[in-house]
């Protein structure tokens, strides 16, 4: 699995005024539909499936899940059958359309039943020796292993690294990557869910060695997939000034946090900051009516 993710420097007045450097790791460019970090997370998960001779990938997500779409696309590329268990009432939208276009079979389950994914897997695929369980969002140790390569690809040292967090798998990978490469950066986690205390434990469980990180829990904008005018304006402004698109669910919130801290003079002069663009741009299209134009 080839991953090409370049680094682009951003030039903006605010950054120059505070004398800091902002680089963006463009994982959003890895693939148009396999949202950057989902591709990294699937890398070792798919290797494991192959080793166990499983050729049916069964995974889970909401109706707008970047992970479902990533799994559907990866399945088509590698010749594996994919089954997506979708939370809630049967619906159709662009994400699910693209899942089906890539050959994914969808099954909708009630929100109640959805809570126990292992149970659903047991009930539906107990007799299917080919079926391989992939957790929602590609969460877990294999996923984190793939994400640690973000750090292994870096050729420069950074004072700060910023990344959005849902399950925390990507962040855990980044922290492990720093351990493996003996690099020292302050890592900034921006949870996109409102009640994010669970995340610290998720992250710590996946760490090879304990390592501290900044936890900025005040940038969830009301909760998962919630937005407001200032977030949408920030995304619009940033896209128009740089040509780099952000999504309102993950990357928009995380980069908003970075610029908010910049304004509060959190950084030192000449700091080098790396923002991990985890992708998810398809989510922007799912929210287009929220923008004021
Ligand atoms: C899924 C996703 C995340 C969250 O990654 P975790 O490893 O679950 O924390 C961040 N950004 C984007 C764009 C995503 O699709």
Token duo for residue 271 = 């700091």
Distance 193 CA to ligand 1 centre (A): 11
Measured from the Cα of 143, ligand 1's closest atom is 7
Beta carbons of 144 and 230 less than 8 angstroms apart = no
User: Do 7-36+140-290 and 37-138 come out as alike in CATH topology?
Assistant: yes
State pLDDT tens for residues 268-282: 999 999 999 999 988
Q: Residue 155 burial by CB count (10 A; 0-12/13-18/19+): exposed, middle or buried?
A: exposed
Q: What is the pLDDT of residues 69-85, one digit of tens each?
A: 999 999 999 999 999 99
pLDDT tens digit string along 17-30?
999 999 999 999 99
Residue 293 vs residue 71, higher pLDDT: 71
Boundaries of every domain in the chain? 7-36+140-290, 37-138
Quote the pLDDT of residue 1: 66
> Does residue 293 surpass a pLDDT of 90?
no
CB of 164 within 6 A of ligand 1: the answer is yes
For residue 86, pLDDT beyond 80: yes
pTM flag (> 0.95): yes
Q: How far apart are CA 274 and CA 157, in angstroms?
A: 9
The string of pLDDT tens digits covering residues 171-198 is 999 999 999 999 999 999 999 999 999 9
Continuous H helices in 1-116 = 13-17, 36-51, 66-78, 94-101, 111-114
pLDDT in tens, 236-280: 999 999 999 999 999 999 999 999 999 999 999 999 999 999 999
Cα 211 to averaged position of ligand 1 atoms, centre (Å): 20
Residues 228, 214: Cα–Cα separation, whole Å: 24
Q: How many CB atoms lie within 10 A of CB 11?
A: 10
Determine which residue's CA is closest to atom 13 belonging to ligand 1.
280
Whole-number pLDDT of residue 3: 86
Across the chain, which distance is largest between two alpha carbons, in Å?
A: 62
What value does the mean pLDDT of the chain take? 96
Whether 65 lines ligand 1, by a CB cut-off of 6 Å, is no
Tell me which of 3.40.50.1100, 3.30.1490.20, 3.30.365.10, 3.30.70.2520 is the CATH number of domain 37-138: 3.40.50.1100
What's the 266 CA to ligand 1 centre distance in angstroms?
A: 25
What pLDDT sits at residue 196? 94
Does residue 50 carry a pLDDT above 70?
yes
Supply the pLDDT for residue 62.
95
Percent of the chain with pLDDT over 70: 100
Angle of helix 36-51 relative to helix 66-78, nearest 10 degrees?
50
For residues 108 and 106, what is the distance between their CA atoms, to the nearest angstrom? 7
CB of residue 35 inside a 6 A radius of ligand 1: yes
Looking up tokens 């590329």 gives 77
Q: 61 CB less than 6 Å from ligand 1?
A: no
Residue position matching structure tokens 């992939």: 134
Pairing of strands 21-26, 7-10: antiparallel
For residue 292, pLDDT beyond 90: no
Q: Is the CB of 248 under 6 A from ligand 1?
A: no
* Ligand 1 lined by 168 (C-beta under 6 Å): yes
pLDDT at 34: 82
CATH number for the segment(s) 7-36+140-290: 3.40.50.1100
Residue 182, pLDDT score: 97
pLDDT in tens, 90-143: 999 999 999 999 999 999 999 999 999 999 999 999 999 999 999 999 999 999
């Amino acid at each position: 699995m080839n991953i090409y993710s370049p680094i682009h420097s951003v030039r903006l007045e605010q950054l120059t005024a505070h004398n800091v450097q902002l680089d963006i790791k463009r994982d959003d460019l890895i693939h148009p539909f396999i949202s950057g970090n989902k591709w990294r997370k699937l890398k070792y998960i798919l290797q494991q499936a192959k080793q166990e001779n499983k050729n049916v990938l069964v995974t889970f997500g909401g109706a707008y899940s970047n992970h479902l779409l990533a799994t559907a696309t990866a399945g088509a590329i590698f010749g594996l059958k994919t089954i997506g268990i979708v939370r809630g009432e049967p619906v159709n939208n662009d994400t699910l359309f693209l899942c089906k276009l890539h050959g994914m079979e969808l099954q909708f389950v009630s929100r109640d039943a959805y809570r126990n994914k292992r149970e659903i897997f047991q009930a539906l695929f107990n007799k299917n020796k080919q079926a391989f369980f992939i957790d929602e969002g590609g969460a877990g140790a294999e996923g984190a292993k793939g994400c640690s390569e973000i750090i292994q690809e870096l050729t420069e040292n950074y004072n700060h690294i910023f990344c959005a967090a849902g399950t925390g798998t990507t962040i855990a990978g980044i922290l492990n990557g720093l351990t493996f490469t003996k690099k020292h950066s302050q890592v900034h986690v921006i949870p996109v869910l409102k009640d994010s205390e669970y995340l610290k434990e998720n992250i710590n469980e996946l760490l090879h060695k304990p390592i501290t990180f900044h936890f900025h829990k005040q940038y969830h904008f009301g909760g998962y997939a919630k937005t407001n005018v200032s977030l949408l304006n920030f995304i619009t402004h940033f896209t128009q000034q740089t040509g780099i698109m952000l999504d309102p669910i993950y990357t928009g919130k995380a980069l908003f946090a970075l610029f908010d801290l910049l304004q509060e003079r959190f950084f030192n002069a000449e700091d080098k900051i790396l923002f991990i663009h985890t992708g998810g741009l398809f989510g922007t299209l799912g929210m287009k009516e929220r923008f004021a134009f």
